Every structure is written in structure tokens, then in C-alpha cells.
Structure 1
Amino acid sequence: MKNPLHHLTFKLILFHQHFLNPIKHGDFVMPNLDNCQQNFTWHNWNGNLTATPSNYCKPTDANDLPKIVLAAKNAGKKVRVLGGGFSWTPVVPTNDYMIDMTNFNRIISVDMEKNLVTVEAGMMVGDLSVELSEKYKLSLETETVIPYVTVGGAVALGCHGTGYNQGTYSDLVVGMEVILADGTWRTFTVESDGEEMMNALRVSLGALGIIFSVTLQCVPLFNLQVVDGRADMVDTINNIQKLVTSHDYVEVFWFPFNKQCWIKTWDKTPKPATESEIKWGWDELKTYLEISTFGKFLMDRLQNTPSLTPLIMQFFSFLMPENKLADNVIAESSLVFHYQTSYLQVWDMSYCINIPNNDFTNVQKAWNQVVNRVNALKDQGLYPQNMVLHTRYIQNSSAYLSPTVGNDHTCCIEILTFNGDGRPTSQYEDYFKQIEQDWIALGGKPHWGKAIYSIDNLKSMYGANMAKFLQIRQSLDPNQVFMNDFLYQVFQMQPSK
């Protein structure tokens, strides 16, 4: 069934996101070929990161990219590439050259025999989904929830959606075109360069070069049966193995101080779509909180009267939608994957926990650690978590720097809290650090784009995989052109003289 409102709806959402509520990129003035904008201040979407690069470049001609790299290299400067600006970690900021790739935002080619799409790295993942669906009747088998991240950014950070038998977004990559530190263009594929090189490139943190385009493995367009509902939280976690392994895609949410959790399941179906637009709950909740007088009052109370947090969390949980299998809600996969299109500024930390041989014991421990800490802190009059605990379930990855590398399957578990301006208070950070240590003790690794406190431990977490990556990094960028302060800390490297 054709989705007539899908493309128009998505474009209106993008217009709202980038013009009515834009990422704070300032009033950008296009530079000349050899003159990127100076004295420009960049902020990420959440507002917790800022940078004033010596040159902020947003080229429209791909031939400018190697010129910028060589200009930086010759001046002894660094180059960092930004995507949608949705990361909490300082993976992008630099005081030198910052490149905005969002003008490179088109599909280059589609191989209908092999179901492959080659796309420029600055295209938004949501735009790619729409175009694949409407023009080519193709889909990706896994997607990020956020539609506004760039393809290059999603690949470089190992971003993911859900799907117990699906990998990360990066694992869809079978080829990549990169501008290297010497200004040369190089196309990498599994066939020509082997799995080791591709396993470094698939999650590179932008440390190997400028990703100009990627080739992704697609599948024929498919529909998903969507079921949203509430269930007893304790029963759900006690039986989480059965829930996750019984469905193609599963997400579980818990608003603190509720006996119930909210569950989303999606299953592939040959049945035709019944919906071209679905009210997903999150978007309605954000709109309600930002526009309605009572909603604004509730958000103010979360910050200024935290003792009301339990009541407000119960109300938020009540607002989440429910439907049953009998309701027959079916939609195209791209619409279902990108169910969340608007966001509150929150503090977010996510860790990837191994599920060995379908043993969910550590998942249950990680979940219960949050519940127990939330309840214990409540007894002390503290409410550092005032948004959801959220889990998604995916397959392992072979990419060296993927937080799911070496796992059988993975639970991606995250906690979110609201503080108005996206920045955490010391109370929030103390809580996040405690949870982080709990999850590290279970063998967890952090999402590269979300809050990380144990940065100095990352190299040891990745062990031999990090060593393999750094060997390839040295071969591709011996002069450290694509480094920044965060990466020096992660890799435990010293800047070259």
C-alpha cells in the first residue's frame, strides 16, 4: 500500500527540526574555495558541546574536500568532520578545521540486482529511508531511531536501532569512499581491501579520513506489524529472553516509579500497510510538554520540585500509547524505524551488554541495578533519573571499535534524565557514574556518541581490537590529521611533534 503522506510528512518534520528548532550552527556564510569561515562558534544540538574552529567549512564541491585536508595538514592543523550534531561526547570538536558534510546529501547510485545503494555521507538517514522506499522499493534492515543523523555519522560512531538478528548501522556497509590524510581519494571494499580494513573503517570515529560516500546493503521493502503495550515490569524482565527472541524487533521502556513498562514489538509481515502515518507517543509527549500549559508546568516541576518526580513519571507512562495485535497496525519499515522525530534536551548514557548464548542474566542485572539505585536514592530524597530506562536488542558486530564487537548478541541499555538545557547537574552525573561502573562490571562498552565518564578505560576495554584499529590508523594517517583531544584520550596517544 502506497504511503502518500510519508514523504511530505517527513519533509515537514525536517523543516521544523532544522529551521524552526535548528541545531545551533549559526548564520553560516559560504567560504571561497580556499577560505573557510573563521570566528564561527559551533554547538551540538543538546547544547553541552561547543567549539570555535579556526576554519569552519561547509563545501558544496567535493573537490574542495582534499584541498581543505591539505591546507590543514600543511599548517600542522587537525580536521574533524561533523554530522547531525546529535552526539553528547566531544568526538567532533576541534580548534582547527571543522567540516560540515550536509551539502553532500544525495544517492549516487542503486544496484537493483544486488540491492546496494551508494549514498553521500552527508545525507540524513531519514531522507535516505524515504527515497529508498518511494523510488526504489528498498529498505535497510536496521536503522537509527533518530532520522536527522547523517549516514556518515551513523556509520563512524557505530549507531544502531533494534533487531535481535540485526547488527549496527555500520554493519550494513560493504564499501566506502574516503579522502585520506594526504588528500587522495580511495574507495574501499571488502573484495579489494579485505575484512580487516573494513572492520576498521566501519566504526572509525572519524579518525581514518573523511567519509565521502558509503555503499549499504539493502533488502526489498518490507512492512512491519506494530504492537505497543504495557506489561508488569518485573514479569517482563524475568521473561525478557522469551520476549526478545519471539519478535524481530523489540524495545522496552520504563519510566521510574512505575510498576509497568512500555513495550514495542515489530514483526515482518507480508500483509499490506494499513497506516501512512502513526502517532507514536514520543512525539505527542514532547509536543504536549512543550506546548500545553500543564506540560510546561510538569517540566518545571521536574527541575524545581524533584519530589514530584514519581507522580510525573507515572503520568508520562500513562500517556504512552497502546494497541494490540488484533488492531492490525502495519506500516512500511522506514516509517516504523524512525518513530521518534522530536526530542527533549536530555542527558543520555548508553552501554552495550553481551548476551552470550541467549543468556539474558546480565541484561536482567543491568536493568535491576538501575531500578534498585533509583529506589534507594528516592529514600534519600534524590531523583537523578526523571526520564526513561530504555533497552534495545541487536546482533554482534565485527567492527573493531563497535561496542558490540565480540558479543554473541547485545542489549543496548540507556538511561536518560531531563535538566532543561541538556547539561547534567553534579547530582545527575554522580548517579550516571555509579550506573556506568555497574555496567562496566558486567562487561559493557559505551555508545561512542553518548555520555562516557570512563574514557581512560576504553583502550583496555577494546584490547586487541583497539590495537588492530590503531595499527590501521597509523598506516592511513601517520601525521594525526584527523585527531582531536577526545581521540587522543581514547587512544592514549600523544600528539606528534
Structure 2
Amino acid sequence: MIKSGRVWRNWSGIVRAKPRSVLYPSHIDEVVEAVNQCRREGRKLRVIGSGHSFTALVASDDMLLSLDRMQGILQVNAETRTATVWAGTKLKALGELLHSEGLAQENLGDIDVQSIAGAISTGTHGTGLRFGNISTQVIGITIVTGTGEVRDCTEQSHPELFKALQISLGAMGIIVQVKLKLRPSYRLSYESSRVPLDTCLENLNSYAASHRNFEFYWFPYAEPCQLKVMNETEETPTPHRITSYLSDVILENVAFGALSSLCKWVPGISAPISRLCAATVPTIRKIEHSHRVYATKRLVRFNEMEYNLPVEAMEAVIREMRETMARERYSVHFPIECRFAKADDIWISPAYGRDSAYIAVHMYRGMPYEKYFADMERIFLRHGGRPHWGKLHTLTAQQLRIAYPKWDSFLEIREKMDPDGLFLSPYLKRIFAL
């Protein structure tokens, strides 16, 4: 919780704001009143979630609003396998609440601290060619518009508005409730292994087709990469042992955090540290309920850029990235995260109209990332890249209009939903060219 006049920071600390006021509504009526107050006083209003976006989407020095007091399940329909939830509900809590009802989301990302509204507003995704991003699980949205109107929206009732709302960057209004399509609870077997990067690249299609969820991490300047695969199983969940805690928390966070700090002070050792990390990737298998196995703890803070690419471009892009890294010798030891997603029809979704690969590059917080990210971004753009909305990028409004075929349609709907520009942060005004 932050107070008026205090500095708000995102998770990595790269984005900061000093709001005039901060509100924590507990009911829709209070959200409506906040919107109407800003209209009367000519103020701006942005909603903050868990701060896991690296872009300045929500940063505002005027009014910030948190939905942390609007959490939980409102209604569950076991027959239709749907649930309506408060928009501020954190994904971790939502997974447990749904599980208690015998239900689960079909796919999730590797971080579960975000609110459901924040996750869908930025296009958060997991991995797996059979699954779209989290926004594709949404079948209903209740929103408070820029005129203070409360609107219930589905694809049947408002087809164009719904496609704009599924990923909206918080530019259409304040999402207060979300209705999700779900499935019965299920368990996953999770396996981590090491293979040479070339072997991974030669078998990408096979890995992606033969596993429910497949992703891999490759380490700069290292030969091995880490494969992560998940598949449904009826097996009993693996008992929680101290060895699992040591691997998941101590090795992946505490030890890696210490090595990262060392790289920050002595950048020249980044390459050998990367090779050390690659050599110590755990080879493990465990069984767990789905919502408990998707996410991993992220205690070591970093900055990130992630791009969506046509799925067929994955191998060529990675080989070009590897050649550039070998030539430029960036001081980076964080692995590159590579995932997959099914095509969708959401207007400003990076996966709009194409089965997709996602590639994310990271840099330890406090280490210079600008040249590394800029060089990688140029490679992504040469191959038709579209940026993840919660991750760093440098694209202008003109470039975004080319990348997203429904860009102008999205902006037209935004104008109707927020005619006074109540929800326009400085960042949004820049990327919308307003």
C-alpha cells in the first residue's frame, strides 16, 4: 500500500511516480465516484496492479487507484465451468479459490502475483501452442468507462468493444469484474532437463507438438540450455521435500542473486557466470496441481524486453541473436526465455492472427541494458516482431499501427469509451500519438 505523496515504483524499480492521491475502493460504486471526481476536477486516473510491467503504462503523478480490496470469486457455475471474479484478485489466490471449487484455468504464465485484470490488460501469457494468452480465457468483462458508466460486455453483446477490452492497456476504463471460462482441476507433470542449444533448435517443432507446455531457456555464451515441459497426468502430487525447496528457492533465487550481484560489480565475469548457471540447471521431475506448478518464484529483480514473433521465425531469430552476442560480448548472464502461444483474434494482442513464439531478454536490475535490448529489438523487428505490452520496447505510434492491423479500430473504441482522456498516462499518450 502506498500513501498520497509517496513514491510508487514498479517491481524492478525502473518506473516511478509520485501520485497526488491513491484510492483503494472496495465496491464498484466507489470506483464510479473516483471516475466522476476526476471528470469534475479535470484529473487523470490510472489503475495499479502488482507493478510487474516494465513499461510506464500506469505511471501517473495524479490519481492512482488500486483494486487490492476487490478480490475473490463472485459467482461460480460448475455446470458451465465459468466463474465471475473481482478484477483485483491475484492469480495465485485465484488458483487456490478455483481449485476449491474443482476448477482451474487452462493455462497460466510463470508469475502469479499479478491481478487478473492486470494480466489480461497487458496480454500476459504462458506457453503451449494449444493455448492462447490469458485474455483468451475471458468471456465477460464489467468495466467503468471514462464517463462513469458501468458496462457489462461479452462478445455476443458488444463484439467490437469486447475484442478491444480483452487487451486494453487500461485505456478503455477500469475493469472491475471478469468472467472466465474454466476447466476441471487437473495435475501436471513438470520436467526440467539440459540439452545442447543446437539439439533444442533442431527439434523445436517436435518438442512443441509433443508436449502440452514447452519452453526453453538458453544462457548467453553457454552450450547447454534448459528444457521445461509439462503434461497432464493422473499421478499423485509429489511430496514437498527440502530438496525441492533448495532447488526452487535457494539455487534459483538466493545463489543466483548472489552471482548477479557479483556480475553487477564485475561485469567482465558475466559470460563465465552464465556458463556456470547453464551447467547447474536442475534435472528434475515433479507432479502438482496445475495452478501450483506454472509459476516460479522470482526474487532476483531484473528488467525485461519480450517480443512476439511468427512461430516459424523462432530458430532463425535465436541463431541471429547468438551470433550478435558472440560479436558484441554484452555483459549479461540472465537466460533468454523462449515460449509459444496459439493465434488469437484480440485486436492488439501480439498473437493476433498468427501462431507465435515469444522471446524474452533480461538484465539484472542496476546493470546497463540499453544497447543489449536495442540490438535484440532490431533482430526481432526484422522478423515481424510485436512487443509484449508489459515489457520494454521503443516502438512509436507509427510502428505500432503497422504491427497491429486493428490499431486504428482500437483507438476509435478508446475514444468512445474515454472521450475526455481520463485514463491516458503520459506513456499511453506517446504510443497513441495523442
| TM-score, length basis structure 2 | 0.95
| Deviation readout 1:413-455 (Å, 9 max, x if unpaired) | 111111xxx2452xx2012111101101100101111111223
Alpha-carbon distance, 1:191 to partner: 2.3
Counterpart of 2:261 in structure 1 is: 300
SS in structure 2 of the partner of residue 284 of structure 1: helix
The 1:463–1:273 alpha-carbon spacing in structure 2 relative to 1, beyond 3 Å, is closer
Q: Which deviates the most, 268-277 or 226-235?
A: 268-277
Alpha-carbon distance, 1:472 to partner: 1.0
Residue 386 of structure 1: which of 304, 317, 333 is its match?
A: 333
Residue 287 of structure 2: which of 324, 330, 333 is its match?
A: 330
Q: Following the alignment from structure 1 to structure 2, what is the Cα–Cα distance between the partners of residues 235 and 491?
A: 42
Q: Following the alignment from structure 2 to structure 1, what is the Cα–Cα distance between the partners of residues 199 and 417?
A: 50
Counterpart of 1:415 in structure 2 is: 361
| Deviation readout 1:318-377 (Å, 9 max, x if unpaired) | 332103xxx6x3221111111x1233111211000112xxxx3x1011111221121112
Q: Following the alignment from structure 1 to structure 2, what is the Cα–Cα distance between the partners of residues 222 and 202?
A: 25
| Structure 2 residues without counterparts, runs of 5 or longer | none
Counterpart of 2:112 in structure 1 is: 147
Q: Following the alignment from structure 1 to structure 2, what is the Cα–Cα distance between the partners of residues 371 and 138?
A: 42
Counterpart of 1:6 in structure 2 is: none
Alignment root-mean-square deviation, CA: 1.8
1:239 lines up with 2:203 in the alignment:
yes
Alpha-carbon distance, 1:285 to partner: 2.8
SS in structure 1 of the partner of residue 107 of structure 2: coil
| Deviation readout 1:109-148 (Å, 9 max, x if unpaired) | 1111110011111110111011111x11111111121111
Counterpart of 1:310 in structure 2 is: 271
Q: Following the alignment from structure 1 to structure 2, what is the Cα–Cα distance between the partners of residues 396 and 280?
A: 37
| Deviation readout 1:76-135 (Å, 9 max, x if unpaired) | 1111111111111000011221101111111111111110011111110111011111x1
CA contact (8 A) 2:264 2:367 kept: no
Counterpart of 2:158 in structure 1 is: 193
Counterpart of 2:347 in structure 1 is: 400
The 1:45–1:219 alpha-carbon spacing in structure 2 relative to 1, beyond 3 Å, is same
CA contact (8 A) 2:187 2:288 kept: yes
CA contact (8 A) 1:281 1:319 kept: no
SS in structure 2 of the partner of residue 154 of structure 1: helix
Q: Following the alignment from structure 2 to structure 1, what is the Cα–Cα distance between the partners of residues 185 and 167?
A: 26
1:89 lines up with 2:55 in the alignment:
yes
Q: Following the alignment from structure 1 to structure 2, what is the Cα–Cα distance between the partners of residues 412 and 281?
A: 26
Q: Following the alignment from structure 2 to structure 1, what is the Cα–Cα distance between the partners of residues 314 and 426?
A: 33
CA contact (8 A) 1:281 1:320 kept: no
Alpha-carbon distance, 1:391 to partner: 0.4
Q: Following the alignment from structure 2 to structure 1, what is the Cα–Cα distance between the partners of residues 195 and 404?
A: 40
Letter in 1 for 2:264: Q
Q: Following the alignment from structure 2 to structure 1, what is the Cα–Cα distance between the partners of residues 247 and 381?
A: 32
Letter in 2 for 1:371: R
Residue 126 of structure 2: which of 161, 171, 176 is its match?
A: 161
Q: Which deviates the most, 107-116 or 308-317?
A: 308-317
Residue 316 of structure 2: which of 354, 357, 365 is its match?
A: 365
| Deviation readout 1:221-258 (Å, 9 max, x if unpaired) | 11112211000111111221111111110010011121
SS in structure 2 of the partner of residue 192 of structure 1: coil
CA contact (8 A) 1:283 1:341 kept: yes
Q: Following the alignment from structure 2 to structure 1, what is the Cα–Cα distance between the partners of residues 178 and 137?
A: 9
CA contact (8 A) 2:264 2:366 kept: no
CA contact (8 A) 2:271 2:332 kept: no
Alpha-carbon distance, 1:276 to partner: 5.3
Letter in 1 for 2:347: Y
Alpha-carbon distance, 1:274 to partner: 3.2
Q: Following the alignment from structure 1 to structure 2, what is the Cα–Cα distance between the partners of residues 416 and 280?
A: 23
Counterpart of 2:326 in structure 1 is: 375
CA contact (8 A) 1:53 1:96 kept: yes
Counterpart of 1:137 in structure 2 is: 102
Alpha-carbon distance, 1:287 to partner: 3.8
Q: Following the alignment from structure 2 to structure 1, what is the Cα–Cα distance between the partners of residues 195 and 392?
A: 29
1:429 lines up with 2:370 in the alignment:
yes
Q: Following the alignment from structure 2 to structure 1, what is the Cα–Cα distance between the partners of residues 61 and 293?
A: 39
CA contact (8 A) 1:374 1:385 kept: no
Counterpart of 1:178 in structure 2 is: 143
Letter in 2 for 1:367: I
Counterpart of 1:72 in structure 2 is: 38
| Deviation readout 1:433-484 (Å, 9 max, x if unpaired) | 1110110110010111111122344432344311111111112111111111
Q: Following the alignment from structure 1 to structure 2, what is the Cα–Cα distance between the partners of residues 186 and 446?
A: 29
Alpha-carbon distance, 1:280 to partner: 8.7
Q: Which deviates the most, 173-182 or 342-351?
A: 342-351
1:118 lines up with 2:59 in the alignment:
no
Q: Following the alignment from structure 1 to structure 2, what is the Cα–Cα distance between the partners of residues 98 and 65?
A: 11
The 1:254–1:463 alpha-carbon spacing in structure 2 relative to 1, beyond 3 Å, is closer
Q: Following the alignment from structure 1 to structure 2, what is the Cα–Cα distance between the partners of residues 372 and 396?
A: 29
SS in structure 1 of the partner of residue 314 of structure 2: helix
Q: Following the alignment from structure 2 to structure 1, what is the Cα–Cα distance between the partners of residues 204 and 246?
A: 23
Letter in 2 for 1:346: F
| Structure 1 residues without counterparts, runs of 5 or longer | 1-24, 29-37
Q: Following the alignment from structure 1 to structure 2, what is the Cα–Cα distance between the partners of residues 391 and 280?
A: 25
Counterpart of 2:213 in structure 1 is: 249
The 1:170–1:281 alpha-carbon spacing in structure 2 relative to 1, beyond 3 Å, is farther
SS in structure 1 of the partner of residue 193 of structure 2: strand
Counterpart of 2:303 in structure 1 is: 347
Letter in 2 for 1:200: A
SS in structure 1 of the partner of residue 229 of structure 2: strand
Q: Following the alignment from structure 1 to structure 2, what is the Cα–Cα distance between the partners of residues 212 and 460?
A: 29
SS in structure 1 of the partner of residue 406 of structure 2: helix
The 1:96–1:349 alpha-carbon spacing in structure 2 relative to 1, beyond 3 Å, is same
Q: How many residues align?
A: 432
Counterpart of 1:19 in structure 2 is: none
1:492 lines up with 2:399 in the alignment:
no
SS in structure 1 of the partner of residue 6 of structure 2: coil
SS in structure 1 of the partner of residue 327 of structure 2: helix
Q: Following the alignment from structure 1 to structure 2, what is the Cα–Cα distance between the partners of residues 483 and 87?
A: 16
What's the % identity of the aligned pairs?
25
The 1:476–1:395 alpha-carbon spacing in structure 2 relative to 1, beyond 3 Å, is same
